[in-house]
Amino acid sequence: MDLFRDCLDKELEDRNHRRMGRVDGLILEVEDGRPPRVAYVEVGVKTLLDRLSRRLGSAAARQLKKFGIDTEPYRIPWGKLHFGLNVVHADVEAEKTPALEWELWLRKKVIGRIPGA
Amino acid sequence: MKKIVEIALGIVTSVGGFLEIGSITTAAQAGADFSLQLIWAIVLGGLCIIFLVEQAGRFAAVSGRTIPDAIRERFGFKYFSVLYLTLVVVSLLVLAAEIGGVCIALELATGIGLQWWALPATFVIWLVIWKGTFGVIEKGVSMLGLVTVCFIVGALMIHPPWDQVLRGAVPSLPQHDSAHYWFIAVSILGASISPYLFFFYSSGAIEDEWRETHVGINRVIATSGMSFGSLISIAVLILAAMIFAPQGIKIEHYSQLPQLLVPVFGHKGFWLLVASLGIACMGAAMEITLQIAYLTAQGFGWNWSENQRPLDEARFSFVYTIVLLLAALIVLTGIDPLSVTIFSMVLTAATLPVAIVPFLFLMNDGRYVRSYRNGWLSNAVVILIIGLAFVLAMVSIPLQIFGGS
């Protein structure tokens, strides 16, 4: 598998085919004497910004923390993933994971309070 | 029969949704300042947008994906972030110009200053997006936008010299004010080859659940819709050339726009202009607002669809709400809508390469478009458009400085 072509930045769907973000990062495990192994994929704003610049990622995380927003990326174990042509399926329920934390917060605190939502 | 209805509806919505503040203003300025000489710029822009829209629609119909969605996948987050930031900034300015256009129409109709209309007009745009579905916005507003066909009727009634109209369709060098001539040409191209148009079109194809069977329909709709749309822009230019140019009148304020139709239709022309401007700008404002929300949701892998309840796509709804608020704030600053329009059209031209280069790769990637890859002609045209985009990107800002006054 070509990790850049077939995994990184692909759309992630949960087991109910709900979009839950994109594969923002890959976590490799390196053990002595063995080839590196992909252990997790990451979803999260800090992982994304780290790809532009580590300094930008850390600065954004610090600022967001001041507002009580946790930027810790959500990790999905490699074993829970299945790869389609242009989509990665994760065997998880999106709404029960931190991947949809902002969506649910906005739904409850902002959008849900506007009439007609 | 169903296909014919679908094609007719598609063409009607493309025509009705084509004209907006940028194309009206740039065409009118071109006609007033250089008579019929700049028709070629609209023709060239129209040809480019036909190819890009057709490809964006074909891509969506075959792959089930939109172009921005695939750009993130194929080109990675760094490239996408450049595309995203440039498009959001430019689109915000264009959106402010469109809201400004709605406000100008309301000012012309009521005599109440345009800034008073910024918030009510924005609220109505938001409300239609909030409560409406994609079909309501696409078909309803675009149907109303057909009122802009009055420009074609006007251009026919004014009996322009058709030999000169045809001569204007061939590029020619300016006889005076070279920098201003090229500045207006670049503005027209920026207004015609607008990334929001082809990105919105591909999102619309997904919203309308296009499949591989729509490839043929897409070709007819893209070609006919964009051609008729360009004809309306040419009609605006002809009217300005026949009415403003002989008297040496420059378009320096929106209040001059009704004069495009009043000499032809009398007092009714005033109301036709007000309706055309108001509806066209409102339709474009809705499309641009949605396009920014689509771009954000598609780039970050969120759920998105204008056909869902706002509650079910909170982030998507939040983005279009904030975008509209920001654009309204720009209008409220009191900045001249005419300046914002022209500046945003030039800025659009400057940022075109980022949006167009990916077409060449995506439209030849079998993982997305399978056997519907670009042929040699489409690839040759895309390469030419990319070349044109780079030229526009390089000359637009210097021309804004030297020829924009």
* Contact assignment for B303 to A51 by CB distance below 8 Å: no
Kind of pairing between the strands at A11-13 and A87-90: parallel
pLDDT tens-place string over residues B244-296: 999 999 888 888 999 999 999 999 999 999 999 999 999 999 999 999 999 99
What pLDDT shows up at residue B405? 54
Give CA separation, B174 vs A99, B28, B29, in Å. Answer: 57, 17, 15
Determine contact, residues B182/B172, Cβ cutoff 8 Å.
no
* Contact assignment for B73 to A103 by CB distance below 8 Å: no
Instruction: Tell me which chain B residue has its CA closest to the CA of residue A6.
Output: B73
What pLDDT shows up at residue B371? 94
d(CA A56, CA A47): 11
Higher pLDDT, B125 or B305: B125
Contact status of B310 with chain A (Cβ, < 8 Å): yes
* Contact assignment for B315 to A102 by CB distance below 8 Å: yes
Contact status of B65 with chain A (Cβ, < 8 Å): yes
Confidence tier at A102 by pLDDT (50, 70, 90): confident
Of B131, B303, B318, the CB nearest to A116: B131
Contact status of B3 with chain A (Cβ, < 8 Å): no
From the list B193, B220, B297, the residue with the least C-alpha distance to B57 is: B220
Of A9, A20, A107, the CB nearest to B77: A9
What pLDDT shows up at residue B331? 93
pLDDT tens-place string over residues B183-210: 999 999 988 898 888 899 999 999 999 9
Confidence tier at B16 by pLDDT (50, 70, 90): low
Instruction: Tell me which chain A residue has its CA closest to the CA of residue B310.
Output: A117
Q: What is the mean pLDDT of residues B382-395?
A: 90
d(CA B104, CA B190): 22
pLDDT exceeding 70 applies to what percent of chain A? Answer: 100
Contact status of B255 with chain A (Cβ, < 8 Å): no
Of B81, B130, B300, the CB nearest to A22: B300
pLDDT tens-place string over residues A61-70: 888 888 777 7
What pLDDT shows up at residue A69? 75
Choose, out of A12, A103, A105, A110, the residue to mutate when testing the contact with B (most B CBs < 10 Å). A103
Q: What is the rounded end-to-end Cα distance, in angstroms, of chain B?
A: 52
Q: What is the mean pLDDT of residues B337-358?
A: 87
Confidence tier at B340 by pLDDT (50, 70, 90): confident
What's the CA dihedral at B183, B185, B188, B189 to 10 degrees?
A: -110
pLDDT at B37 over 80: yes
Shortest Cα distance, chain B CAs vs residue A27, angstroms: 17
pLDDT at B238 over 60: yes
- Where does residue B132 rank: exposed (0-12), middle (13-18), buried (19+ CB within 10 A)? middle
Determine contact, residues B24/B280, Cβ cutoff 8 Å.
yes
What pLDDT shows up at residue B255? 85
* Contact assignment for B311 to A52 by CB distance below 8 Å: no
Query: ipTM of the predicted structure?
Result: 0.93
Dump strand ranges (E) for B190-333: none
From the list B326, B307, B376, B385, the residue with the least C-alpha distance to B353 is: B385
pLDDT at B171 over 90: yes
Of B302, B318, B367, the CB nearest to A111: B318
* Contact assignment for A19 to B302 by CB distance below 8 Å: yes
pTM: 0.93
What pLDDT shows up at residue B342? 83
* Contact assignment for B301 to A86 by CB distance below 8 Å: no
Kind of pairing between the strands at A25-29 and A74-77: unpaired
Q: What is the mean pLDDT of residues A39-57?
A: 92
What pLDDT shows up at residue B329? 95
d(CA B338, CA B254): 7
Give CA separation, A76 vs A23, A39, A71, B53, in Å. Answer: 10, 9, 16, 38
Contact status of B78 with chain A (Cβ, < 8 Å): yes
Contact status of B131 with chain A (Cβ, < 8 Å): yes
Q: What is the mean pLDDT of residues B124-135?
A: 93
Give the distance, in angstroms, between the CA of residue B171 and the centroid of all CA atoms in the same chain.
22
Return the residue matching tokens 């139709």.
Answer: B261
d(CA B132, CA B129): 5
Instruction: Tell me which chain A residue has its CA closest to the CA of residue B76.
Output: A9
pLDDT tens-place string over residues B82-120: 999 999 999 999 999 999 999 999 999 999 998 999 999
pLDDT at B36 over 70: yes
Higher pLDDT, B170 or B136: B170
Q: Which residues of A22-39 are buried (b: 16+ CB within 10 A; e: fewer)?
A: bbbbbbeeeeeeeeeeee
* Contact assignment for B311 to A21 by CB distance below 8 Å: no
pLDDT exceeding 70 applies to what percent of chain B? Answer: 98
